[in-house]
Amino acid sequence: MPWNLYYSERNILEKELEQLSSLHRLAFAASICERFLPNYSAFAKENGLGNPMVLRNALDEAWLVVQGNSANAEKINKLIQNCKVLPPDEDHEETYKYEASMTCGVICYMLSACLEPTPQNVAQVAYMAEDIIFETIEVERDIANPGCSTNMTFDEMEKDAANHRFWIKEAAKQNLDFQKLEEVKTLDQKFIESFRKSCVDDGKSMIDLY
């Protein structure tokens, strides 16, 4: 591409996505969503709450659209509503609460993109990955050095985040996925199966939760 996850480069991603077909764009977004799902699973296991299968089933429906199935608006809107009631209660404190909420949100964006796969809608999924990584790194930074982030400009925090392994790994994966999709004209079953298997590394999310 290259796409480096920087906030200032978001327009670059949208322009690049214009070069892909609707199904290719959705495959790119679905891969990112696969790396989100372990975040919600970690929340569910840690707190004994939630239902990861709701998100799994929703993303499986998105993959069916990637395979060429027609996007059933009624079914997809129902799945969106199911996902919207999954986020943790804002009035309670649970481990991985933020990560779980972000995962529910990104799956909703994914499903919405299935109905209207514009570059802008698909890009929202990638932006959610950037956001969760940025926030995770900020928390790590402030745990190691309390108050550190408050003394940094946004640009300084972004440059610092860009050197973190989570950021580097996710940027590399998104660029690799994009390259693979650029090189294939038709998303046949064999390609999609291989592409899906490569989405997640060792069952971990982009911030190493599982």
Half-sphere exposure of 65 (CA within 13 A, CB side): 30
pLDDT at residue 3 in the model: 76
Q: Where are the alpha helices (DSSP H) in the chain?
A: 10-17, 22-34, 37-47, 52-66, 73-84, 97-115, 119-144, 154-161, 165-183, 189-197
132 in a domain, yes or no?
Answer: yes
Per-residue pLDDT of the chain (210 residues; tens, 9 = 90+): 677 888 888 989 999 999 999 999 999 999 999 999 999 999 999 999 999 999 999 999 999 999 999 999 999 999 999 999 999 887 788 999 999 999 999 999 999 999 999 999 999 999 999 999 999 999 999 999 999 999 999 999 999 999 999 999 999 999 999 999 999 999 999 999 999 999 999 999 999 999
Q: How many distinct structural domains can be found in the chain?
A: 1
Q: What is the pLDDT of residues 145-192, one digit of tens each?
A: 999 999 999 999 999 999 999 999 999 999 999 999 999 999 999 999
pLDDT at residue 172 in the model: 97
210 in a domain, yes or no?
Answer: no
Question: DSSP per residue over 79-103, as a string?
Answer: HHHHHHT-SPPTTS--TTHHHHHHH
206 in a domain, yes or no?
Answer: no
Burial of residue 188, with CB atoms counted within 10 A of its CB: 0-12 exposed, 13-18 middle, 19 or more buried: exposed
Which residues have C-beta within 8 Å of that of residue 190, sequence separation ≥ 6? none
CB atoms within 10 A of CB 192: 18
Domain that holds residue 63: 7-197
Average pLDDT over all residues of the chain: 96
For 201, list phi and psi in degrees, rounded to 5: -100, 115
17 in a domain, yes or no?
Answer: yes
Q: Tokens 């970690």 belong to which residue? A: 42
Domain CATH number, residue 161 = 1.20.1590.10
133 in a domain, yes or no?
Answer: yes
33 in a domain, yes or no?
Answer: yes
Q: Are 32 and 125 in contact (CB under 8 A)?
A: yes
The Cα–Cα gap between 170 and 79 comes to: 27
pLDDT at residue 82 in the model: 98
21 in a domain, yes or no?
Answer: yes
164 in a domain, yes or no?
Answer: yes
The Cα–Cα gap between 97 and 10 comes to: 27
